[in-house]
Structure 1
Amino acid sequence: MKAIVWHGAGDVRCETVPDPGIEHPRDAIVKVSACAICGSDLHLYDHFMPGMQSGDILGHEFMGEVVEVGAEAKGALTVGDRVVVPFTIICGECEQCRRGNFSVCERSNRNKDVAAKLFGHTTAGLFGYTHLTGGYAGGQAEYVRVPFADHTHVKIPGGLTDEQVLFLGDIFPTGWQAAAQCDIQPTDTVAIWGCGPVGQMTIRSALLLGAKQVIAIDRVPERLSMAEAGGAVTIDFEQESVVERLSELTGGKGPEKCIDAVGMEAHATATLDSMFDRAKQAMMLESDRAHVLREMIYVCRPAGTLSIPGVYGGLIDKIPFGASMNKGLTWRMGQTHVNRWTDDLLRRIQEGQIDPSFVITHTESLEHGPEMYKTFRDKRDGCVKVVLKP
């Protein structure tokens, strides 16, 4: 089969690799009908995340048709089922899964000892996302083996296109969780840093959850236009001061809720902390650039909430933790508990409350995947979200 394969920083290729097969009775094989390039994939493309190995198949946002089912998964899936596959692999039975904390499933990471050494405890296994999270082959491929397939799936009813439901596997529930964990009140202003795909879903989720005002911060014109079309007030951080503009928009009080939809590769324009980050990163003294986190702590209204769906992979420096403590800020963060949200979000799509396909700007064949990684990373050609068709 064809798949997008990682070979090093900036080096991904569409190659012929062996077809997957059933390895455990709870497995299923899915023939991929659509997959996407996620902002988190760029952390792998630029090699900011540890644990990658040459030959790894990328991709964690995909859907398709079930073509083979293991003996122990047949009660939940049948050949011909149309499914979206969450990026978090879940057993559905451990204590964390029973609590709905699916992104920290205690069983699905087959390299859990390695993850525990780095994080203190294991997290869930993830598709196409380093050997720290299990080293599972990803979904930017013609076929995928889905472990724990009896729980790791979302069945899709008829009448909905791939484009409408594909993002149930990651960016839509990620944006929803980012907003939901803010406990948004009708009087709240929600400020969102980053207008990439997750940021776009977060904007619309915050408004669906009743925010009084949503403010979106970025510098890419196409992303800012899309955010504005979704109902946000926008700030171009290259053209105006984020701190001053947020103060103006909130009567000097600051936003009650601040969301980091950027993560470890934050950009900033000629700020001292961003230059410090880049220097330390180049000298291998820091792994992640944390400008957005610092700015959120500074501008957030006292007793407010910081929500962090943006991915961080290692160490950050110069975090004003004293300001966070003294202002009484609440931090909520983590990988997405995808299956906690998908029933509700699928219903909202069916009812027409939201059509997540709005975010797609480019649709290409799998063979064009490597060049689309570059287009997406460099934000060329108005690219906001790429869908690949095997």
Structure 2
Amino acid sequence: MRALTWHGKHDVRVDTVPDPEIVNPRDAILKVTSTAICGSDLHLYDAVIPGLQSGDILGHEFMGEVVETGPDSTLRKGQRVVVPFTISCGACFFCQRQQYSACDNSNPVDNQDLTEPLYGHAMSGLFGYTHLTGGYPGGQAEYVRVPYSDVGPIVVPDGLEDDKVLFLSDILPTGWMAAENADIEEGDVVAVWGCGPVGLFAVQSALAMGAGKVIAIDEWPNRLDLARKLGAEVIDFKRTHVLEALMEMSGGIGPDAVIDAVGMEAHGFAPDTLLDNLKQRIGVGADSAHALREAILAVRKGGRISIPGVYGGFLDKFPLGAVMEKGVQIRTGQTHVQRYLKELLHKIGEGELDTTFLISHRLPLEEAARGYENFRFNQNDWTKVVLKTG
């Protein structure tokens, strides 16, 4: 089959690789119909997250048609399904509490040994990411093996085309959980750093949950315009002093809740960002966290901080004193996708949530490398890339 493979920093290629096979009785094989490039994939493209090996198949946002099943799978051949990017067994301590992204059984033991010293506990399995998260081949391919297929995938009703439901695999539940983690109350002022896909869905979700005002912060005009069309007020951080603007827009108190949808590769010309980016390039630091630092300083006293943005290692200049003295709460984590699938699928089917506004480009899988390059270096125009197989 054909698949998008990683070969080093900014070097991804569509290669011919072996077809996937059933390994476990709970497996299923999907013929991928649609897959997308995620902002988290860019951390791999930029080689700032370790654990990739040359030839690894990328991609964790995908859906398709079931073509083969193991004897213990609950799926049937011919069904269309969306697959969560989190791989979860459904039976461990964490899965039983619907904390699916903390699954104890989906990451093979050999790989758990790599992450436990770093995080204190082993990470769970993720599709198409690194060997720190299991080394599972991803879905930017013609076919993919889906472990625990009786737990993760959700069957898509007839009449809902791929573009409407594809983002159930990751970014829509991630944006929704980000807003939920912010404990939004009716009328709250909510600030969202980053108008990439997750940030825009966090804006949409916060408004759906009753926020009185959502303020979106970014530098790219097109992305700010998308946030504005969703109903947000916007701040261009290149033109405006963010902290001063947020105080003014929140009546001098600060936002009730803040959402960092940027993560470990914050860009810009703030002194801390320039230093972080330099340390990333020379390999002595992993995370550039200007957006998070700014969000902590901006949130009101007693407010809430939600962090859906991906962080992989350590950071310095962390304003822990502000966190403690202001009495704020912080909630974060990989998304418990399976927890939200039925609710969000229903909202899409009823027309309460739209996802298609985000898609700027549709490309054949063979042009995936061009999609990565533009999604990384032309962020104003390339807001979301969907790859079509066949």
TM-score range, shorter chain: over 0.9
**1:26-175 residue pairs with structure 2 within 5 A?**
26-73=26-73, 76-110=74-108, 111-175=111-175
2:198 matched to 1:198? yes
Kindly indicate whether the alpha-carbon contact (under 8 Å) linking 2:164 and 2:354 is maintained by their aligned counterparts in 1.
Answer: yes
1:294 partner SS: helix
Distance 1:234 1:31 in 2: 40
The answer to whether the 8 A contact 2:86-2:127 is kept is yes
Q: Give the 3-state SS of the residue equivalent to 1:222 in structure 2.
A: helix
CA distance in 1 between partners of 2:328 and 2:362 (Å): 41
SS, match of residue 94 in structure 2: helix
Structure 2 distance, partners of 1:285, 1:129, is 22
In the alignment, the residues of structure 1 paired with residue 32 and residue 123 of structure 2 have an alpha-carbon distance, to the nearest angstrom, of: 26
1:183 counterpart = 2:183? yes
The reply to whether residue 366 of structure 1 matches residue 353 of structure 2 is no
How far apart are the structure 2 equivalents of 1:381 and 1:308? 23
Amino acid at match of 1:232: A
What is the distance in 2 between the residues matched to 1:232 and 1:348? 20
State the 1:381 CA deviation. 6.8
State the Cα distance separating 1:282 from its structure 2 match.
3.2
Cα distance, 1:329 vs. partner?
A: 0.8
Unaligned runs of 5+ in 1: none
The answer (yes or no) to whether the contact 2:129–2:135 under 8 Å persists in 1 is: yes
| Aligned amino acid, residue 379 of structure 1 | N
Q: Secondary structure at the match of 1:199?
A: helix
Q: Which residue of 1 aligns with 2:296?
A: 297
Q: Distance in 2 between matches of 1:31 and 1:283?
A: 40
Paired residues of 1:375 and 1:381 also in contact (CA < 8 A): no
CA–CA separation in structure 1 for the residues paired with 2:284 and 2:324 = 25
Q: Matched residue pairs, number?
A: 387
Structure 1 residues 176-234: Cα deviation after superposition (integer angstroms, max 9, x where no partner):
00001111011310100000010111000000000010000000111001000001000
**Secondary structure of the structure 2 residue equivalent to 1:174:** helix
Secondary structure of the structure 2 residue equivalent to 1:71: coil
Q: Distance in 1 between matches of 2:328 and 2:341?
A: 29
Determine if the alignment matches structure 1 residue 232 to structure 2 residue 249: no
Shift of 1:41: 0.2
Question: Does residue 344 of structure 2 align to residue 349 of structure 1?
Answer: no
Task: Show CA shifts across 1:52-93 (max 9, x none).
Answer: 1000000000000000000111xx111111100000001001
Counterparts of 1:316-331 in structure 2, within 5 Å, are 316-331=315-330
SS across alignment from 1:352: coil
Please state how far the C-alpha of 1:277 moved relative to its aligned partner: 1.4
Distance in structure 2 (CA, Å) of the matches to 1:282 and 1:46: 10
- How far off its partner does 1:380 sit? 5.3
Match of 2:307 in 1: 308
Maintained 8 Å contact 2:220/2:379: no
8 Å Cα contact 1:62-1:166 kept in structure 2: yes
- Looking at structure 1, the residues matched to 252 and 332 of structure 2 have their Cα atoms a distance apart, in angstroms, of 26
Counterparts of 1:115 and 1:101 in 2: how far apart (Å)?
18
- Classify the secondary structure of the residue corresponding to 1:33: strand
Describe the shift of the 1:49–1:232 C-alpha distance in structure 2 as closer, same or farther (beyond 3 A): same
Counterparts of 1:225-304 in structure 2, within 5 Å, are 225-269=225-269, 271-304=270-303
- 1:130 CA displacement: 0.1
Question: What is the CA-CA distance between 1:147 and the residue it aligns to?
Answer: 0.7
Please report how far the alpha carbon of residue 124 of structure 1 lies from its aligned counterpart in structure 2 after TM superposition. Answer: 1.6
1:279-334 Cα deviation digits (max 9, x unpaired): 33334321110101110111110011110000001111100101111100101000
Q: Report the aligned-residue RMSD.
A: 0.9
TM-score, with normalisation over the residues of structure 1?
0.98
For structure 2, the residue ranges without an aligned partner over 5 or more in a row are: none
Paired with 1:386 and 1:196, the residues of 2 have a C-alpha distance of 12
Partner Cα separation in structure 2 for residue 165 and residue 225 of structure 1: 23
What SS class does the counterpart of residue 5 from structure 1 fall into? strand
Which string of whole-angstrom CA distances, capped at 9 and with x for unpartnered residues, describes residues 134-178 of structure 1? Answer: 000000000000011111211111110100000000000000000
1:77 and 1:272 map into 2 onto residues whose CA distance is 52
Q: Distance in 2 between matches of 1:379 and 1:218?
A: 14
User: Which aligned segments of 4 or more residues in structure 1 are displaced greater than 6 angstroms?
Assistant: none
Counterpart Cα distance in 2 of 1:27 and 1:278: 41
Q: Aligned residues: percent identity?
A: 56
State the alpha-carbon separation in 1 of the partners of residues 80 and 312 from structure 2. 33
Question: AA paired with 2:342?
Answer: D
| TM-score normalised to structure 2 length | 0.98
Match of 1:22? 22
Q: Which residue of 2 aligns with 1:383?
A: 382
2:41 aligned counterpart, secondary structure: helix
Change (3 A) 1:83 1:259: same
1:5–1:283 distance in 2 versus 1, CA, 3 Å? closer
Q: Answer whether contact 1:243 1:299 (CA < 8 A) is retained.
A: yes
Q: Distance in 1 between matches of 2:173 and 2:324?
A: 29
